[in-house]
Chains A and B, each alone.
Chain A
Amino acid sequence: MITLGTALAFAGAAVAAGFAGVGSAVGVGIAGQAGAGVVSEDPDKFGNVLVLQALPGTQGIYGLLIAFIIVLNLGVIDGNVKDLTTFQGMALFCAGLPMAIGGLMSGIYQGKVAASGIYLCAKRPEETGKGIILAAMVETYAVLSLLISFIMVNGVKL
């Protein structure tokens, strides 16, 4: 029988991976559509477009990382799921939230900036680097979310 605390910890892992994954999916989707438009007119730009399209994909990886650490701490991997108190579970749930919310929002907005970078690449291919830098700036906030979630997850003593 799984305790409420353990269930909350699972929920924390689920929102971290799920929401950040949605953010990445939407972001990569936005940039991908923009990229398809540019490449359909100039296939030679595929390389530059691909780099920009891939940028919003990192949030999903960060979310997966946090979710993985949570389930690892819970003992899911070795088959001995721990019984957590409600407060321990609540703490792990809250630890997953920064990555969930930060990953969701930054993924979507990074996708929009990456799409704009793709338009920049279409008009001025020599400035693609600047488009990548602009999109990478949004990454900062996904990394900050990852950092705080990581610290919080590690701060919960089981």
Chain B
Amino acid sequence: MPQASYEYAVGRISQLSTKMLDAAKLRRIFEAGSVQESLALLLETGYGGSLTPEQIASEEIDYVIREQLQISRKVVWEVTPAPELTSLFLLEVDGHNLKTLLKARLLGVEAPDVLIEGGSFPLDQLKECVASANYDALPEAYRKTMNKIEAELARGVDSLKLSAEIDGAMFRHIKSVLDKKNDHSFVRDYFSLQADFQNARSVVRARLLNWDVDKLRLMLLEGGEIDFNVFLEGMNIPMEQLGAQFNRGKNGKLISQSVEEYVATGNASVLKRKMETALMNVLRSVKWDMFSLGPIIGYLMGREAEAKALRVIFGAKRGGFEYELPELYA
């Protein structure tokens, strides 16, 4: 019977994290002779344990990866002594499911294959909410946003706006939970950094795609340290000054450097990579806080990063090109 204590949870996680894949193991998987051999190497590391030989033989690598990710999410959900804070890290899964269900409903199709188990809200509950257009079972931030989206759908469908509004609801919900719990741990640091970084990325994207300020405002996420006005003003200043514009608050220096690097290189993926590294560094900073949520969330997000890396590796292997690994936790 699992016990809700950090000691027990971190004990299980410490043992499970020995099976995580580091860059060297991923390299070996990539360098195997064929995709089948890569898959065999992956299965040796513990992946695919609950799959049937037929499912594995189908070589649907994404199936194997998704299965492992769901097991990891389930274990974390089972052992965490702080479910409310842990659930915040699973909201992206719910966001994906909500967007998918809503789009599927609008298109009049079923979307079971792309839905993901293991989010903060039960998948069946989300299905029911979207099917009935009744979101009373969801937290306030989501409920208000989804009701607003439903009202807007009567006038037309803007998938970018829909997606941005659901992301916005996620960050509003996170902020309300953290404020209610008066949490000032790494969890707040993580989401505040993510919000600030995403907002900076939105400004860059808005300038590249010539969006107006209203469209940018819709994309901005709550919970960061940098005021929304700083990002909105970023639309009207020379590109060379954009980095300095964001150099405010605890996260400012890092974001400023990343934007300056983007301006110098013109490579927009720099911002995403820098954000992933910075977020992983927040988790690494609490990796050894043995009686806290740090190692538990580190394992969860590490598995998510590992799944992303495996998709990149198998894609590169099938395509016959060299890969660039996303930031890993292990």
Judge whether A126 is part of the interface by a CB distance below 8 angstroms.
no
Inter-chain contact A38/B290, CB cutoff 8 Å: no
Tell me the complex Cα distance, A118–B11, Å. 7
Q: Which residues of A contact B10 (CB under 8 A)?
A: 34, 37, 115, 119
Inter-chain contact A33/B15, CB cutoff 8 Å: no
Known: A30-B7, A115-B7. A37 touches B14 (CB 8 A): yes
Inter-chain contact B7/A122, CB cutoff 8 Å: no
Judge whether B16 is part of the interface by a CB distance below 8 angstroms.
yes
Inter-chain contact A122/B8, CB cutoff 8 Å: no
Dominant SS among interface residues on chain B:
helix
Which residue from chain A places its CB closest to the CB of B18 in the assembled complex?
A: A123
Contact with A along B22-34 (1 / 0, CB 8 A): 0000000000000
Q: Which residues of A contact B79 (CB under 8 A)?
A: 37
Which residue from chain B places its CB closest to the CB of A49 in the assembled complex?
A: B11
Q: How many contacts A-B (CB < 8 Å)? A: 58
Judge whether A41 is part of the interface by a CB distance below 8 angstroms.
yes
Q: Which residues of B contact A106 (CB under 8 A)?
A: none
Judge whether B3 is part of the interface by a CB distance below 8 angstroms.
yes
Judge whether B5 is part of the interface by a CB distance below 8 angstroms.
yes
Tell me the complex Cα distance, A36–B10, Å. 10
User: Contact partner of A112 among B3, B14, B17, B291, CB < 8 A?
Assistant: B291
Tell me the complex Cα distance, A118–B18, Å. 14
User: Contact partner of A35 among B9, B11, B291, CB < 8 A?
Assistant: B11
Contact with A along B252-288 (1 / 0, CB 8 A): 0000000000000000000000000000000000000
Known: A112-B291, A116-B290, A119-B290. A34 touches B8 (CB 8 A): yes
Judge whether B217 is part of the interface by a CB distance below 8 angstroms.
no
Residue of A30, A37, A40 with most partner-chain B CB within 10 A: A37
Give the A interface residue count (CB, 8 A).
19
Dominant SS among interface residues on chain A:
helix
Inter-chain contact B11/A122, CB cutoff 8 Å: yes
Inter-chain contact A37/B291, CB cutoff 8 Å: no
Which residue from chain B places its CB closest to the CB of A30 in the assembled complex?
A: B7
Tell me the complex Cα distance, A38–B5, Å. 13
Inter-chain contact B11/A36, CB cutoff 8 Å: yes
Inter-chain contact A34/B7, CB cutoff 8 Å: yes
Q: Which residues of A contact B7 (CB under 8 A)?
A: 30-31, 33-34, 37, 115
Residue of B7, B12, B291 with most partner-chain A CB within 10 A: B7
In the complex, 8 of the A-B residue pairs with CB atoms within 8 angstroms, ordered by the A residue number, are: A31-B7, A36-B3, A36-B8, A37-B15, A112-B290, A119-B10, A122-B14, A122-B18
**Interface residues in chain B, defined as those with a beta carbon under 8 Å from any beta carbon in chain A:** 3, 5, 7-18, 79, 290-291
3 closest A-B pairs by CB: A37-B11, A33-B7, A41-B15
